[in-house]
Amino acid sequence: MDHLVTSGAWGLALLQALLYAALGPLLVGWIRKVKAVLQNRRGASVLQPYRDLRKLLMKEARVAHTASPLFRAAPYVVFGATWLAAATVPLVAVDLPTAAIADIIALVGLLALARFFLALAGMDVGTAFGGMGASREMLVSALAEPAMLMAVFTLAMTAHSTNLATVVDYHLTGSIVLRPSFLFAFAGLILVAIAETGRIPVDNPATHLELTMIHEAMLLEYSGRHLALMEWAAQIKLVLYGALIANVFFPWGIARSLWPSAVAVGLVAIVLKLLTLGAALAVAETVLAKMRLFRAPAFLNLALLMSLLGLLSHVILGVRA
Amino acid sequence: MSYDGMALLQQFLLVLAALVLFSAFSLLAQARLVSAIHAFAWQGALVAGVTTVIAVAGRLPHLYFSAALTLALKALLIPWILHRLVRRLELDRHVESLWRPALTIMAAVALVIFSYWLVLPIVEQELTFTRNIVAISLAVVLIGLLMMVMRQQAVIQVLGFMSMENGLFLAAVSATAGMPLVVELGVAFDVLVAMVLFGMFFFQIRESIDSLDVDRLNRLTESRGDGE
Amino acid sequence: MDGALLLAALAVMLALASAAVSLAAAQQPQVLRLLAMPLLGLSGLLALGAGLVALVAGGAVTATLPLGLPWLPWCVRLDALAGFFLAVIGVVTVAVGLYGPGYVRTLEHGRESLSALGVFTGLFLTGMLLVVLADDAFLFMVAWELMSLSSYFLVAFQHEHAANRRAAFLYLLMAHVGGLAILLAFGVLASFGAGFAFDAMRSADPPVAWASVAFVLAFLGFGMKAGLVPLHAWLPEAHPVAPSHISALMSGVMLKVAVYGFIRVVFDLIGQFHWQWGVAVLAVGSVSALMGVLYALMQHDLKRLLAYHSVENLGIIFIGLGLALIFLSAGHGLLGALALLAALYHTVNHAVFKGLLFLGAGAILHSTHERDLEQMGGLLRRMPWTGLFFLVGCLSISALPPFNGFVSEWLTFQAALQAWHLDSGVLRSLIPIAAAVLALTGALAAACFVKVYGVAFLGQARSRHVRRARPVPVGMRAGQGLLAALCVILGILPTGVLTLIGDIPRQLLGGGLSPAAASDWLWLTPLPAEGVSYSAPLVVMLLAGAIGLALWRLRHAAVRRVRRCAAWDCGFAPPTPRMQYTATAFAQPIRRVFGLLFHVDESVESRGHDGTRYQLVVRDRAWGLFYAPVAQVVETAARRVARLQSGNIRVYLGWTLSTLLVLLWIIS
């Protein structure tokens, strides 16, 4: 671990963490822009989410009479946990110390911590909406977790480690391989990412009808800077999953060393990959409609099946003489 | 022989084989009749693809002809016939969901693991990477049979039967580099004739019991008194 | 090392003293909380000390007691495994000792016999300590029986209610059936080892068939005590009806003693490993984990819910043990040690956080006299410390970083991931499937505890007496606080804990994790070659840093104040407590998705002027599928045998004559 303790590596890791926080609103703005263009509108500027966050941060926060101290603490915990989780995913460079702090399983654990507090915050005020959002969110996440872990296992069985830097490295250094297991794990992870980040067809991030909300219902009582932190955390989560999928399955371009030139190339590469993924997500959201809640299990079972097939392909087709 | 050592073509072959397995699952779980026919068409095309790649990698020119035959028959002609049949039977929008989908999929996964375990003792060296494709083809056969057990609609049962035949063809191609051409042609024409006969039978069944639900055929038992 | 054995002996003496002193509680009720409970706590402290010394010092100490039969004296042995379980027992007992005095004060005015409570608690602890220390089958079985019988009396403490008596009877019945299976297992091992002493059994080498018989019997017996599906039916009946601090001891400690028994018999005494055994244990563990958490989600009685979670967590421990058996049978000593350590870590974690949760449930019961989640709400503002500690317990049991539950689940996943080392493709497919089931149970457990904490502590109170809840006495808070602090410490310093328990696989299996694995306090790298690591202290520091950064940046925000207002009500009437989500409502989506696994009876009847009545009954399928048929068979067999009792004296004399003739013939 000695080579990780250099200040340069830690400095770059800090920069990467700040970049995650900065790219979140940009990605969401880009997705909304593409959707607007597909729907024949001009749409708001790509920088609009930044303005929204700034507006919220400057507004007064209102808290209900029945809220407990947990209601006020939850946004900070959610934001902190999601940000820390994002910081461990390689964004521009592979070999950073933050990747060794938490592997994929710890990443899932940190996101689960954020979700736990989010759900508790939803139940805190004592209205029906929060309870409904919390109940639905826990159902979706409970079904998504085995699919995610099965996809992770498929990756880990080939790379022999759950450390993200090792997995990315393995994919980069191996000869270009068309593995069926990776193909299925990719499909499974995409479906899980859609469910976990609350996008159509699982949840509609732009809805205003309480009965169709999952994520929004838990945020209904929040305002001002608390709401800004929660929204920001959701945006960071989207970049997290995007960077995870882009860098694990299409790692070409990521910096293998800490030279500024390599890092610059890595930055350009990841921005291009995220823009492509964002556009693809926008197309999918325009083409598909939101499913009813009780069809989400079928969706997540498909994700689990894909990941399971990935694992089986690895075991059956991964030749061991 | 690890993965990286293989040529690109062989990796592509394994990807196609995995996609065949996926198509067997999607055929099992499809609710809509028309989508099931499309899934079957894709399965045929993928099997033809596997045959072509084996022909290229193993330099076996007669397999090109098998591939072309499979493509024409399984991916184009038979789905077209079924599609026309379905339209004439007015079943275009027929939807029939699977009974206990979670259990059925788990059973299918268990069948895959079982067929892998069965094929393990085949240790011939030259078959090392195609041996695994034999495991997949056995799984496709078993899943086809499972499909015939779990689904009620007659047309879907025929699709299950056809996908069993796909699996057998895949096994033959991967294990022995294809069957002799005469046998191949014979089987192909048999399948075509079977399709035509099935079509006639569908009309006959529908006229006599007014539905294509094979569970209704149990009215034909002796012990039943009158009707239902 | 003799010091450790001395400390352990003192612990046993103090537990017996606590029992003896409680006899006086019949006349003087204060004796129980002033003398007996502190003695119990002190005994726990000594047990903890003995365990820690044994773990640190390494090696094993044996002694022979001047008790028992002349040709079969009782032997005790304190090695690393026994020391670990002594420490587990000790730490929960200390917390119970702190918590007990405040809790039993309310029982002093009741009709139940306080002396019975004190005596049997002391005997219960004595039994558990002796089981862990035993080095021969005789002492083991005597102590096991003592443990089971005294806990029966504790479960039947509030025996006025018929339901409690039924629960206690079921518990007694299953404890004895399990005990019988364990006795038979020892019998098989003793016949090959020529003696009942554990040393004799260790050196014996039974053939595979008989070793498998012993394994199955031991698995049945210890599994029944540990509450594995389908032998778990007594757990959700017995644990809720006992007093809360006893439930904490039973769930937190007694189930672990069953795990100790299993490890001792299978890993130490039998000594052979076969992959079939490992697959069986892995399968049973996975099913228990999943069914346990699903049934827990359907409960709205807080203590019953926690009891079902014990089933789930024991399932997770046995998943780890199953993985260890599989790896050891394939010859991978290092991986087997890793899996075993993961299981042991989860053992101590479960003892700590389950004890904490049961003590919290007891605190709620003490303040509100309420066990039903549907009546609770808003308790965080009435009982802030209990709420905080209970939150720590909920976070730990949901396996969330940086608490202790996460570390043991992480280790279990890492062990499962090493399946790629195995040769068998079937095993390489099945183990990840078991790991996916583990992931599902983890997520469902988090869902369940969001429900529990959200319904009980957050929101608004759903009934009057809950609205007026008072905080609990300092002693009860201290007990919970101790366990909560341990949850945090065990989560942040995993390498320290692994160094401490690293001796156990070395003694049992002859090989452990490499020294590099546990050397660094910052990075947890169980398998240095793989390059996988988790740094809990850094996670905590960075998490605190991120939160602190957000707080600091927002201090300079334009408007810092927070204004109170009414909750959003869509413009209709203000929200009443009845409009909140109930616990049953929260679990409804999951009940619908997993509906096949339960026996659900749902009915809505409209009763005209009286309104509508909605009834939901969720029953355990195991009753219909397993217990009812077994009870049928036993009853029919018993009825057939009962025909021997014809009532005619000449028939009885005839039986006596024929038995005499057969025996004389055999002797000749």
A25-47 average pLDDT score: 94
Spatial CA neighbour of A114 closest among C316, C582, C547, C379: C547
Model pLDDT for residues C608-645, shown as the tens digit of each residue: 888 888 888 888 888 888 888 888 999 999 998 888 77
Model pLDDT for residues B88-134, shown as the tens digit of each residue: 888 777 777 777 888 899 999 999 999 888 887 775 555 555 677 88
Cβ-based contacts of C410 with chain A (< 8 Å):
105-106, 109
pLDDT at C513 over 50: yes
**Tally of domains in chain B:** 1
The rounded distance, in Å, linking the Cα atoms of A299 and A297 is 5
pLDDT at C106 over 90: no
Beta-bridge partners for C617: C601
Q: How many Cβ atoms from other residues are within 10 Å of residue A172's Cβ? A: 14
* pLDDT of res. C450: 95
C149-160 average pLDDT score: 89
Provide the whole-model pTM: 0.91
Output the average pLDDT for chain A. 89
Beta-bridge partners for C301: C372
The rounded distance, in Å, linking the Cα atoms of B117 and B160 is 23
CA distance B116 to chain C (A): 8
Q: Token pair of B130, please? A: 């195609």
* pLDDT of res. B2: 47
Cβ-based contacts of C532 with chain A (< 8 Å):
103, 161-163, 166
pLDDT at C175 over 80: yes
* pLDDT of res. B227: 45
Model pLDDT for residues C400-452, shown as the tens digit of each residue: 988 999 999 999 999 998 888 888 888 888 999 999 999 999 999 999 999 99
| Residue B141, in any domain of the structure | yes
| Residue B22, in any domain of the structure | yes
| Residue B209, in any domain of the structure | yes
The rounded distance, in Å, linking the Cα atoms of C153 and C176 is 14
Best residue in B1, B14, B97 to probe A by mutation, most A CBs within 10 Å?
B14
CA angle at C66 for the pair C61 and C67, rounded to the nearest 5°: 110
Contact state of C429 with B100 under an 8 Å Cβ cutoff: no
| Residue B225, in any domain of the structure | no
Burial of C232-262, coded b for 16+ CB within 10 Å and e otherwise, reads bbbbbbbbbbbbbbbbbbbbbbbbbbbbbbb
B31-45 average pLDDT score: 92
A99 contacts A261 by C-beta, under 8 angstroms: no
Contact state of B105 with A315 under an 8 Å Cβ cutoff: no
pLDDT at C314 over 90: yes
Q: What confidence tier does A206 reach under pLDDT thresholds 50, 70, 90?
A: confident
Q: What confidence tier does B62 reach under pLDDT thresholds 50, 70, 90?
A: confident
Question: Could you give the 3-state DSSP secondary structure of residue C613?
Answer: strand
Q: Is C430 on the interface with B (CB under 8 A)?
A: yes
* pLDDT of res. B228: 43
| Residue B228, in any domain of the structure | no
Model pLDDT for residues C61-77, shown as the tens digit of each residue: 888 888 877 777 888 99
Spatial CA neighbour of C448 closest among C621, C309, C577: C309
Cβ-based contacts of C379 with chain A (< 8 Å):
none
| Residue B227, in any domain of the structure | no
* pLDDT of res. C521: 65
Domain that holds residue B98: 7-216
- The interface predicted TM-score of the complex, written ipTM, equals 0.94
Model pLDDT for residues C71-103, shown as the tens digit of each residue: 778 889 998 999 999 999 999 999 999 998 888
CA distance B183 to chain C (A): 35
Return the DSSP state at C243.
Answer: -
Best residue in A172, A178, A308 to probe B by mutation, most B CBs within 10 Å?
A178
In the A/C pair of chains, how many CB contacts fall below 8 A? Answer: 265
Model pLDDT for residues B189-215, shown as the tens digit of each residue: 787 778 878 887 887 877 777 777 777
Contact state of A316 with B2 under an 8 Å Cβ cutoff: no
The rounded distance, in Å, linking the Cα atoms of B26 and B45 is 15
Give the residue extent of every domain in chain C.
Answer: 276-283+318-550, 624-667
